[in-house]
Amino acid sequence: IESDKDRLPTATIDLAAITRTVVDELRRSDPDRGADLEIDCAHAIPPITGDRAQMSQLLHNLVGNAMKYGRAGTPVTVRLEPGDAGDVTLTVADRGDGIPPEHLPRLTERFYRVDSGRSRALGGTGLGLAIVKHIAERHRGRLVITSAPGEGTTVTVHFPAVQADPPTLS
Ligand code: ATP
Ligand code: MG
């Protein structure tokens, strides 16, 4: 995750179109669980500064988690909402078992997995959210993960409006 993902986003991207493409891909790759995927995008979504491939990866990781850790037959909602200043908020919500609060601060560490039998049985490497965090930072996005055990998990990423100046390393 050092090389490709270090590329700074410079293009102007259509997040709604990328979201629809990723959701279509996930529906095809898992038709059963894919039937529970819902896109909630009632408003026009303004373009943002971003990297298409990185954003696609971020969406795959977040929606993939919601499908994997949610419960079959319960909805996975992917929502896009425009802010007042050209900014955009992405929300991915599931109704799975949730994450105990003591684990939340460490979720975006590489290889960190909640040590439940369920996580172990489902497989994975524990890199998905570390990559999401990295990509969100590259896009000057703000990543927030909230979870209620027994009720589900909600991940939001807030992206700033399209930037006049090319992004620089901070
Ligand atoms: P990988 O994404 O590399 O295949 P992974 O899914 O285990 O593996 P992450 O996506 O980084 O890794 O997630 C880290 C851990 O956080 C998971 O193992 C799981 O325990 C927990 N987790 C992530 N998303 C959810 C979710 N939506 N609901 C419940 N637990 C989650
Ligand atoms: Mg994952």
Per-residue burial over 98-125, b = 16 or more CB atoms within 10 Å of its CB, e = otherwise: bbeeeeeeebbeeeebbeeeebeeeeee
Q: What is the pLDDT of residue 6?
A: 63
Query: Ligand 1: which residue has its CA nearest to atom 2?
Result: 128
pTM, two decimal places: 0.93
Q: Which of 116-120's residues contact partners 24+ apart within 8 Å by CB, and which partners?
A: 118/69, 119/69
User: What confidence tens digit (pLDDT) does each residue in 99-131 have?
Assistant: 999 999 999 999 999 977 777 778 889 999 999
Placement of tokens 């700033």 in the chain: 160
Query: Ligand 1: which residue has its CA nearest to atom 27?
Result: 66
Read off the pLDDT band of 168 (50, 70, 90): low
Predicted complex ipTM exceeds 0.90: yes
Ligand 1 pocket test: which of 67, 113, 153 has the largest number of ligand atoms within 8 Å of its C-beta?
113
